[in-house]
Amino acid sequence: MPKSLLYAWLIFTPFILNAQKDMTGITLHFNPILNGKPIQDGILTGHINDDSIAIHTLRFYLGNFVFYKNGKEVGQDASGYHLLDMEDANTMTISLLIAADYDAIRFTLGTDSLTNASGAMGGDLDPTKGMYWAWNSGYINAKIEGYAKKCPTRNHQFEFHIGGYMPPFQTVQQVELQGIAKQEIRVDMELSAFFEQIDLGVTHGVMSPSATASEMAKLLAKTFRLHEQ
């Protein structure tokens, strides 16, 4: 490398780094856990309410990321909805670029009503992703499937397809994470908060918008929390 270039590089590098700092990025790693235990061989297992539970499917939409500093909105992300799938680790990390300093993020778990009624969409919202109902239009905002000893169903399966955008059975939820000090953060989803509130002996199949689906959406939103270091 010619010397002049090297000098130029030495002189400008700090500015380049600085410029990148202004354009703050944030990387969010979502990490589903059950009683504190992470995914092993693609499944989450645990003991809850005197029952052994195994979760093999967890898929859900996140979107509408809004950033805050001292309670004031400082920026919004326009990348649309992201489909997160426990089976595909790549999808469990979301990187967003945002030109602001922030200490809190708010986002939606699930899709808003406009998205549900605006016709065919692409990317993560493409109907081939298996997250759209054929017989009663609307996105499935979250799928949770697995097995539990107490389920009186075939193979003890439970299947929760949580969706619905029309009142009174909306399922979209707001999630807020506060006290964000870093650009790379780990967000745990402690699913025991969800399963502790459900009697799998009674409730094991949800396939359409209903009061139960709305209730489950609220429970799922409560599973998000910053990972404690």
Partner 1 sequence: MSNKLPLAVIFMGIAYWFLVAASPFSSPDPVPLKYPESWPKPTYDFTKNPLTRQGIELGRRLFYDPILSKDSTVSCSNCHLSYTAFTHVDHALSHGIHDRIGTRNSPALMNLAWGSKFMWDGAANHLDMQALAPISSPVEMDETIENVVQKLGRESRYKALFHHAFGDSTVTGERLLKALSQFELNLISANSKYDQMKRGEAVFNEQENKGYVLFQNNCARCHAEPFFTNHGFEKNGLPIDTTLNDLGRMAITQLSADSLKFKVPTLRNIEFSHPYMHDGRFRKLREVLNHYAQNKELGIELTANEKVDLTAFLLTLTDKEFLFNADFAFPKN
Residues that bind partner 1 (CB under 8 A): 116-122, 125-130, 132, 134-138, 166, 169, 210
Residue placing its CB nearer to partner 1 in the complex, 134 or 181: 134
CA distance 218 to 175: 10
Please report which residue ranges of the chain form alpha helices under DSSP H.
3-22, 113-116, 192-195, 211-221
Question: Taking Cα atoms as reference points, which of 96, 31, 18, 29 lies closest to residue 63?
Answer: 96
Residue 127 tokens read as: 């109907």
Residue placing its CB nearer to partner 1 in the complex, 71 or 167: 167
Question: Taking Cα atoms as reference points, which of 114, 59, 56, 105 lies closest to residue 82?
Answer: 59
Residue placing its CB nearer to partner 1 in the complex, 51 or 215: 215
Least distance in angstroms from the C-beta of 126 to partner 1: 5
Residue placing its CB nearer to partner 1 in the complex, 32 or 138: 138
CA gyration radius, the chain: 20
Residue placing its CB nearer to partner 1 in the complex, 15 or 135: 135
Three state DSSP letters for 72-135: EEEEECCCCCEEEECCCHHHHEEEEEECCCCCEEEEEECCCHHHHCCCCCCHHHCHHHCCECCC
Least distance in angstroms from the C-beta of 98 to partner 1: 27
Least distance in angstroms from the C-beta of 170 to partner 1: 13
CA distance 159 to 146: 7
Least distance in angstroms from the C-beta of 128 to partner 1: 4
Least distance in angstroms from the C-beta of 134 to partner 1: 4
Least distance in angstroms from the C-beta of 17 to partner 1: 32
